[in-house]
Chains A and B, each alone.
Chain A
Amino acid sequence: MDCKHIRNFSIIAHIDHGKSTLADRLLERTGTVEKRQLKEQMLDDMELERQRGITIKARAVRMEYRHAGEVYELNLIDTPGHVDFHYEVSRSLACCEGAVLLVDAFQGVEAQTVANAYAAINLDLAIVPVINKVDLVHARVDDVLLEMEQSLAIDSAEVIKASAKTGVGIDDLLAAIIERIPPPKGDPHAILRALIFDSHYDSYRGAITYVRVIDGTITKGQKIRFLETSTTHDVLELGQFVPQRRACETLSAGQVGYLVCNIKDVKQVHIGDTVTIPGDQAAAPMPGYKPPQRMVYCGLYPSEGENFEELRDALEKLVINDPSFEYAPESSEALGFGFRCGFLGLLHMEIIQQRLEKEADLDLVQTAPNVTYRIKKTTGETIEITNPQDVPDTGQIDEFLQPIVRTNFLVPVEQIGPVMQLCTDRRGVYLKTEYLSPTRAMLTFDLPLAEVIYDLHDRLKSVTRGYGTMDYELIGYFPADLVRLDILVGGKPVDALSIICDRRDADRRGRAIVKKLRGEIDRHMFEIALQAAIGTKVIARETISAMRKNVTAKCYGGDISRKKKLWAKQKEGKKRMKSIGSVDIPQKAFMAVLDTGTDRQ
């Protein structure tokens, strides 16, 4: 296939604007998948993706479409929509020459619409704007056109009005993809240069490497070299996704497909690596991708200590298909041996945990998530802190820095006030307000990432009755007056409960945490003091009073079996706890530190 007849594109949209439905419709219209084989969210094959109705991993699919008498190869590279997966979006976009920008005719322009559109514009991609769901009774097409023009300078005349559900406008869209998106440049006869944009692990074939060929041609049986890992492989099979894998003989400049090279160790496949030929003639490496940035860390511990090895195996397996998370062994006095894991965001964290529990059948204790901090020590050394336990003594700290994110909120104008309040409460620095239409505005704040990840999204949804959306990008690390807040249970510090927070918030957070813990920990036969402390200074205290009376009154002939069952239940409950000193702490309590006490008054 010559480049002139190839178009590579992504669909970018805010979550829930109908991206997967549109992809399904394109597959159907191009005859890639017959209607009767079509299942919803065709490209989302992870069970979790379908369950939650979201796309987590990128996908690539080849379609054929006849336009103006000629046959074109259209490669759709699907992308996740959630802010956590920005990283995957930019990877996908780097393989494309154009992007279909999808906007819901009722919801209008939202935070990820803007974020993803800018990502595409910055990569010089041709944008094909589409308003989806125009068949909705509540569609407000004219307003949304205005919003698109205001926020992204999109010419209303270029916007295709479509309904992925009914199929309206799909032919126009396919025509626009071919007419407006440039064909890939690249020379099929030049030296091979291909970009690895994803991979997944197949237990029979080993690593399946997803590539976009930039120059040259890959042929079955040839030898190829991965530049970054400096490894050479035989191409056993290559092909395209239609949407299942379909083998072919060659992949040439401009095409998107997969390689099977009998690679058993997925660590050899680096996303963003350059594929070329072995030897002196090899092409120079391409810039590749920025490594994924883990925003959130938490500890994951097996709730039964003896399952440590199983957890390690499960993490190893998972990281193969999702290199964007990382893990390293750590140990906690309270929780024993486990792993500190880094994620792209909270949703990512939740998904990984669910997959671990589901796919590996592991019962996990998760500690509260925290962001990465940096500390400049008085020695001049700078250290990264992913675990509050690693914060050195105050005397050794010259500067304590935290990540700040620039956050855009797209909200109905009448809710600007509450959103402003929300951000100033979280120590946000106001930057600007832009009106996209008479009814919608974009607010920009710089906020500590720590404040954003915990519950800002939920709070935003609640103050805007679901209509507000947000997106953020890291702008850097800035000094702040931060402290480590320790929690003591029965006088003993519980390492897994420590957090890092702003000094000015310490009182409030401390009080909220010990109060929450009081509700989570059952009464014992003795009084339990719960304290929050900075260094040796106690700033909040709650007491769990001792159990006063707990004795079954009647235990006669017929009662014994029944009572025994009740007592046995208590025992079951006890098993799922972690004992610290002589205090049994339920797993849930380790998330208590998430309680920010944000019902602030």
Chain B
Amino acid sequence: MGQPRHAYVHVPFCRHRCGYCDFTLVAGRDDLIDRYYAALGRELERVSPEPPATAGSPGLELDTLYLGGGTPSHLGPAGLRRLFGLLHERLHPVAGAEVTVEANPLDVTADFLAAAADCGVTRVSLGGQSLDAMTLRALDRDHAPDDVRRAAGLLLADGFSVSVDLMTAAPGQSLAAVEKDLDAVVGLGPQHVSVYCLTWEKGTSFESQRRKGLLQPAEESLERQMYETAIDRLGTGGYEHYEVSNFAKPGARCRHNEAYWDCRPWEAFGPGAARFDGRTRITNHRATTTWMNKVLVGDDFSGDVDAMTAEDAARERVVVGLRRRDGLDREAFMDASGFTLDALAGNAIASWTDRGLATDDGRRVRLTHAGLLVSDALWADILK
């Protein structure tokens, strides 16, 4: 499989935890940030025990580096510089690499942009979620529509490649509100848009309110309409739909995420971060403090280990591959996995095409629009 050329770094800090969020993060615990740097520095030693400078190499060469969270921008300009200082000791984004940082619109200031540029950041993923005040309140967000506009404007003016996240099916959100959000985002003109349908995750405040009857999820048919509207409007706006939730202007797909969906190996650091060597995916301990403590005392800090056989991995490749609108190319699949697509999924694909859920031209298999909408129900046919 060779050395991974992609890396993910998890920054688990937020000003505040939004009601729907079940990600690995701590809110209002900035006192832990120093310990986090220390722990991250130690975890990076997995790449090479000695600083690469001493070993005479620039470090692990990367085509993409992605800082997610949490809210990486919450570290502030100085924090960002410090973080990249650590990362650059062992990770080496090559010339032309995609370096993404997730940001809260409120954190996007001139100082922050300057720091980002100095650190080699090329792309900013903006947690906008909506451009409608009511929806933002319903989602428990701490920013206003204008903050998103301002941040996107600044980023684009400074030459960053920008992605904006939007959320649909928020409590009380109407189809009209979604349409307005989509039009507003297209108007802002970012290179990339991700649209996520709200999910109700165990352990979140939203979910406990739902159980008490205080919050009501959107009807499934409304969810569907919202999703279809997103596909339509973003398409018209010049964004290509290239994965379930992702839309990009030509040439602006997120290369980092495409590495995941290509099942290429990647490195990952930080609490709850998952790395993959082509067969095995190891997820670090999800609790921020546990991860820090274990890393710092030299204990094993991995949590879940998903060790797959070659066939398991190939089956997984079918699933994540078909979630991409390009679908799967038989030849490329065979080259990458060592299995023929039809040996693993031939019957399923035939039955899907019969039912109008997929198309198959003999070389390439793609889900149709109908198939994509219910794709979770298809994977039982593929996974062992």
Residues of A within 8 A of B (CB): 525-526, 547-558, 560-561, 564, 567-568, 570-571, 574
Q: Which residue of A lies closest to B284 (CB)?
A: A558
Q: Does B380 contact A (CB under 8 A)?
A: yes
Which of B141-149, B292-300, B371-379 forms contacts with chain A? B371-379
Separation of A174 and B146 alpha carbons in the complex (Å): 94
B380, A571: Cβ atoms closer than 8 Å: yes
Known A-B contacts A548-B223, A551-B376, A558-B274; A571 and B257 likewise in contact (beta carbons under 8 Å): no
In the bound complex, residues from chain B placing their C-beta under 8 Å from that of A556 are 257, 260
Q: Considering only CB atoms, which chain B residue lies closest to A575 in the complex?
A: B380
B residues less than 8 Å from A525 (CB atoms): 355, 357, 374, 377
A363 CB to closest chain B CB (Å) equals 19
Chain A residues, CB < 8 A from B257? 556
Cα distance, A567 to B379, chains bound together (Å): 6
Among all A-B residue pairs, the 7 with the closest Cβ atoms:
A571-B380, A558-B274, A549-B224, A561-B306, A567-B379, A553-B196, A550-B376
Interface 1/0 per residue, B356-376 and A, CB below 8 Å: 010000000000000011111
User: Is B17 engaged at the interface, CB distance under 8 Å to the other chain?
Assistant: no
Once bound together, how far apart are the Cα atoms of A571 and B384, in whole Å?
Answer: 9
Nearest B residue to A546, CB-CB: B374
Q: Is the CB of A549 within 8 A of B374?
A: yes
Assembled-state Cα–Cα distance A557/B256 (Å): 10
Q: What is the CB-to-nearest-CB distance from A145 to chain B, in angstroms, rounded to a whole number?
A: 55
Whether B374 and A551, one on each chain, are in contact in the complex, defined by CB atoms closer than 8 angstroms, is yes
* Interface size range on B against A: 35 or more
> Are A554 and B196 in touch, CB under 8 angstroms?
yes
Given A548-B223, A561-B306, A554 contacting B376 (CB threshold 8 A): no
CA distance A561 to B283 in the complex (A): 9
Residues of B within 8 A of A570 (CB): 376-377, 379-380
Give the complex CA separation of A526 and B370 in angstroms.
11
Q: Are B276 and A548 in contact (CB under 8 A)?
A: no
CB-CB < 8 A to A547: which residues of B?
A: 220, 374, 377
Q: CA of A402 to CA of B283 in the docked complex: distance in angstroms?
A: 65
User: Do residues A557 and B379 form an inter-chain contact, with CB atoms below 8 A?
Assistant: no
Taking a contact as CB atoms under 8 Å apart, the answer to whether B196 and A550 are in contact is no
Q: Are B244 and A549 in contact (CB under 8 A)?
A: no
> What chain B residues lie within 8 Å of A550 (beta carbons)?
373-377
Contact A560 B260 (CB under 8 A): yes
**Interface residues as binary, B335-360 with A (CB distance below 8 Å gives 1, 0 otherwise):** 00000000000000000000101000
Is B75 at the interface (CB under 8 A from chain A)? no
Q: Which residues of B contact A551 (CB under 8 A)?
A: 227, 244, 372-376
How far apart are the CA atoms of A558 and B268 in the complex, in Å?
A: 9
A370 to chain B, nearest CB (A): 34
Which residues on A sit within 8 Å (CB–CB) of B227? 549, 551
Residues of chain B within 8 A of A571, CB atoms compared = 380, 383
A568 touches which of B244, B320, B357, B383 (Cβ 8 Å)? B383
Whether B224 pairs with A567 at a CB distance below 8 angstroms is: no
Q: How many angstroms from the CA of A122 to the CA of B275 in the assembled complex? A: 81
B279: interface (CB < 8 Å): no
- Could you tell me the distance between the alpha carbons of A123 and B295 in the complex, rounded to whole angstroms? 84
Q: How far is the CA of A551 from the CA of B197 in the complex (A)?
A: 9
A568 CB contacts on chain B under 8 angstroms = 380, 383
Cross-chain contact B221 with A561 (CB below 8 angstroms): no
B105 at the A interface (CB under 8 A):
no
B374 touches A555 (CB 8 A): no
Please tell me if B13 contacts chain A, counting CB pairs below 8 Å: no
Find out whether the CB atom of A549 lies under 8 angstroms from the CB atom of B223: yes
Contacts of B244 in A (CB 8 A): 551-553, 555
> Are B380 and A574 in contact, with the CB atoms below 8 A?
yes
